[in-house]
Structure 1
């Protein structure tokens, strides 16, 4: 029997009865904020932060598996739009909302969406391509690796160290899909019907080598030849990037899938701004590296910097996955944007929040003349409305 802990992103902390080993693993794994309850033995105080999804703790000291599910405040269909748009803004992602609308939890929705996209990608069969191969062989194929032949064989004729390009299905694109399928099949919480379909996809990819745990997934480049794979590959990489590594304090293991909503919101805002400003004659750089001081000792990385045709910065923005509270947004954000504007020699800066009491406010800094805008996006709305709000932010940023 599995103990299931239900938490909500950024909700108040709750006290729960948990095995000490599980509580320590959750705290060490940076899954949620976890600490022993000072007022009750055998209980832990848990509070979810920006990471949403589900993980399961198993191993020594945990008699029954403990699954922690963190539900996002944003509806699942809205979260998937943020994810899919940031991965591929040119894709027609609107139909993904229909695909995942029946699922209330993140992991089942993600597994369903990945399986559906893999199925669509493989309807015309597995993609084939050339893979660079090096091996020892009894016949010469391709070219002989002379240095390896001398080093390994000491003048022997056979076997021969050769290198050649093999036309195969065991290429980066298929390996990413196979690895995502294998990882999803390992997770608890995937619905039975989705698991059955994932097993079918595994059979279709049976000749493909999955990536070994701990190794970096292979890189792939979008081309005309692999166009039918694009959407499946984007989602599969999201699975692999969000999969929590096995954490082993002693003999405990944590496995699961987590999204960082801070990063997801940042990725969406910066990509949407870049798309909104496309064709304006300006160039957008995401996570651009700059320095605050003249000695270049203090580094800063604004989320979004817009450059004019002459290559000089003309606008800067930073995304904050925060909602405005009764006392307003944190003052520290204003200080951070003031530093960005000063170092980049800009007269205006833009802070973009997930939700606010007003869609736009602005503050002019005394004795500096710098105007700092604070924009608030409403994530709980249809994609067209959300993109329209981003367009309005871009309009304020555009330098004519």
Structure 2
């Protein structure tokens, strides 16, 4: 029987009796925060999950494969809301898919993807034009003269042509097909959901599947593919979170993982950007043109920078998905934010943590006067309350910016 390891994100370490080959495979996979032999129990391995959540299967040569399930601390429905909102802030809301009976991440994700694909395909497969280049014995479209001369050496047939074909084999359907194929290969998808995924795959039978290692096709949201939007955003989340890797020692890892650090950071930045739209200006996520030194050799990348109507930076924030320590938040976070404020010439900066004992604390830096704010966002609440908390945070940031000597932020609009 395949060993199954079930862990909870950032929970205390636990001991599991595993074959040595399986334990070493977990160490090599680097999906856990801690993995090593238990010093007090022979034949056992001490394992602790970090910020990665999901399910993976490790194929161990000469031994049984091992399956690892890592459960997030936040409710699964909330995690899928964070992921969906980050992909499409105006498209995903609680209630889009009923997840009341799903309490594990992978089954819930597979269920959500299948339901959204079913809704997208109820009116039939979307069709569109696809540019095709091929060798043909019949002239159609346009002749590729350079390719004809290079490959055919003056021969009249076959001809190298390029033409636009009206077909269902377009990027949107290829993304949905790739997401279904991916979910069908993952461990832990319930039988009932797997059967419904197989049904969706049969509806996409004429779509060209992605080759292993091939980048997913790009698509653009338009009025014509509006019914596909929610399904496409979830499909992209599946393909971005999934991985098939060959590790040292002929190990093979196949699974699906979300990094909660990235999920939280993406959500906070996208939600702040949406909240700031009312006030004008513009937002920059992961700004790349900021340097700490005058010679511009030390690059800084704050998560969120808001530029007021005048075009100058007015607000800087960093999202930190870290558990609170007994003696406070990590000092290096404050050092980093102080560097951002100094480089941008701002009198205050904001660190946005997940949860915390108090919703807001501020610290004034000695001899500099810079004020460093730390905020705590409670993820364990309904989406409406969560977005309302982000809106309140945005107003707090704007009020502080308006009170600063630079001004530059609007003070009354809401």
TM-score w.r.t. structure 1 length? 0.97
* TM-fit CA distance, 1:212: 1.1
Q: 1:320·1:351 contact (CA, 8 Å) conserved in 2?
A: yes
Instruction: Give secondary structure in 2 for the equivalent of 1:322.
Output: coil
* TM-fit CA distance, 1:191: 0.7
Match of 1:208 in 2: 207
Output the CA distance in 1 between the equivalents of 2:127 and 2:296: 48
User: RMSD over aligned Cα, in angstroms?
Assistant: 1.3
* TM-fit CA distance, 1:295: 1.5
* TM-fit CA distance, 1:214: 0.9
* TM-fit CA distance, 1:217: 0.4
Residues 185-226 of structure 1 show CA distances to partners (whole Å, capped at 9, x for unaligned) of 111210111000000000000010121111110111111111
Output the CA distance in 2 between the equivalents of 1:75 and 1:354: 14
Q: 1:56·1:256 contact (CA, 8 Å) conserved in 2?
A: yes
Match of 2:56 in 1: 55
Question: Superposition pairs for residues 22-41 of structure 1, below 5 Å?
Answer: 22-32=22-32, 33-41=34-42
Match of 1:225 in 2: 224
The change in CA–CA distance for 1:99 and 1:36 in structure 2 (over 3 A counts) is: same
Question: Superposition pairs for residues 109-128 of structure 1, below 5 Å?
Answer: 109-128=108-127
Match of 1:314 in 2: 314
Alignment pair present for 1:366 and 2:366: yes
Output the CA distance in 2 between the equivalents of 1:42 and 1:323: 31
Output the CA distance in 2 between the equivalents of 1:246 and 1:112: 25
Instruction: Give secondary structure in 1 for the equivalent of 2:238.
Output: helix
* TM-fit CA distance, 1:383: 1.4
Output the CA distance in 2 between the equivalents of 1:245 and 1:294: 43
Q: 2:71·2:104 contact (CA, 8 Å) conserved in 1?
A: yes
Question: Superposition pairs for residues 307-346 of structure 1, below 5 Å?
Answer: 307-346=307-346
Mean Cα displacement is larger for which, 17-26 or 183-192? 17-26
Q: 2:282·2:307 contact (CA, 8 Å) conserved in 1?
A: yes
Q: 1:29·1:247 contact (CA, 8 Å) conserved in 2?
A: no
Note the residue ranges of structure 1 that are not aligned, 5 or more in a row. none
Q: 2:93·2:383 contact (CA, 8 Å) conserved in 1?
A: no
Instruction: Give secondary structure in 1 for the equivalent of 2:221.
Output: coil
Instruction: Give secondary structure in 2 for the equivalent of 1:95.
Output: coil
Work out the number of aligned pairs and report it: 398
Q: 2:84·2:92 contact (CA, 8 Å) conserved in 1?
A: no
Output the CA distance in 1 between the equivalents of 2:249 and 2:152: 44
* TM-fit CA distance, 1:44: 2.2
Residues 7-60 of structure 1 show CA distances to partners (whole Å, capped at 9, x for unaligned) of 110111222222233223322222113223344543322110100001111241
Mean Cα displacement is larger for which, 42-51 or 269-278? 42-51
Match of 2:287 in 1: 288
Match of 1:108 in 2: 107
Q: 1:57·1:67 contact (CA, 8 Å) conserved in 2?
A: yes
* TM-fit CA distance, 1:264: 0.5
Match of 2:350 in 1: 350
Q: 2:120·2:227 contact (CA, 8 Å) conserved in 1?
A: yes
* TM-fit CA distance, 1:101: 2.2
Q: 2:28·2:247 contact (CA, 8 Å) conserved in 1?
A: no
